[in-house]
Amino acid sequence: MGEKLKVGIVGGTGMVGQRFVQLLDQHPWFEVAAIAASAGSAGKTYEESVQGRWKLSTPIPEDVKKIVVQDASKVEEVASGVDFIFCAVDMKKNEIQALEEAYAKTGTPVVSNNSAHRWTPDVPMVIPEINPGHLDVIAAQRRRLGTSTGFIAVKPNCSIQSYVPALHALLDYKPTKVVATTYQAISGAGKNFADWPEMLDNVIPYIGGEEEKSEQEPLRIWGSVNGGEIVKANSPLITTQCIRVPVTDGHMAAVFVSFENKPSKEDILARWRQFKGRPQELGLPSAPKRFITYFEEENRPQTKLDRDIERGMGVSTGRLREDSIYDYKFVGLSHNTLRGAAGGAVLIAELLKAEGYIQAK
């Protein structure tokens, strides 16, 4: 592979930023060269900046402990030392949009975990196994931003990873209606039980903004590139409820679906087991060997047992059966901070590298 690409993590002290630090430790293609955060963390070592708020079970990687955190707002300074950045900041939408565009305009690719640019027409929102062709829109985005090398690519919402892959494998049968209820881990809010004790022994039937994202983002994923922008699909019709449940990691979905051309159960299971995408074809480092795993047991997948399948990058399904109102129902599960957040973004960066969009400066 040669020399590793130098990565900056903007928003590196938060929970998703910590996941990036963890996942990039010993990565075969990338190495952390810079970490940036708010002005309050700037000037401290990374170890000092996350003292008392490191949320992961593994220790802080040795290679990053002594990196001095930079001020994320000093864009030129941060960008000068890296080949591309991951962005996972907690700011207002318009502030994130401006910050990410500022980095892109320095000629630095931005792989974003944030939602701010998910509906910018020329920004690809990618699940690498599903819509890698959307990267074609980057050429139009670069023209708009006035850069030959910089751009922004984003990952979609964590909630949709638990059911969109399973539906995508069945698109040939033309799903028409989808009902999904998601049961979402507290890490999706950037918290653990120490931060959020009121979640113990509790379920909250509301997650702000999540249902709109869960209903609309799949249609953008299934959209097409036309005239330098992404045009979203107009079907299937999706309705969701998103519920916060007392688990640390892992988003589960209970899904009901009807099709224009109803497949057999055997057809569905064969599609799920055989499904591969571009990451599997390219053998990308973070790609799961099997993207979708189906469990025959009636009580699987389970969040605690199965969220880490394929190093947290696989998607699990189970309980596929015919329904009395819809054609079928099933359960899906994905790891929300691995496949759904930092891991998904690392996989996007690997795809961008493999396809020539990210290169050494």
Which residues are designated catalytic?
158, 251
Spell 296-314 as b/e; 16+ CB within 10 A means b.
eeeebbbbeebbebbebbb
Are 188 and 251 contacting, i.e. CB atoms less than 8 angstroms apart? yes
Q: Which helix (H) or strand (E) holds 315?
A: strand 315-322
Element (H, E) at 10: strand 5-10
- Token digits for 256? 């009901």
Which residues are within 8 A (CB) of 253 and not within 5 positions of it... i.e. 6 or more apart?
159, 162, 163, 180, 181, 182, 183, 331, 332, 333
- Put residue 273 in one of left, alpha, beta given phi > 0 → left and psi -120 to 50 → alpha: alpha
End-to-end CA distance of the chain: 16
Distance, in Å, from the CA atom of 177 to the CA atom of 347, rounded to the nearest integer, reads: 30
| 115: DSSP letter | S
Beta bridge partners of 34: 8
134 φ/ψ sector (left φ>0, alpha ψ -120 to 50, else beta): alpha
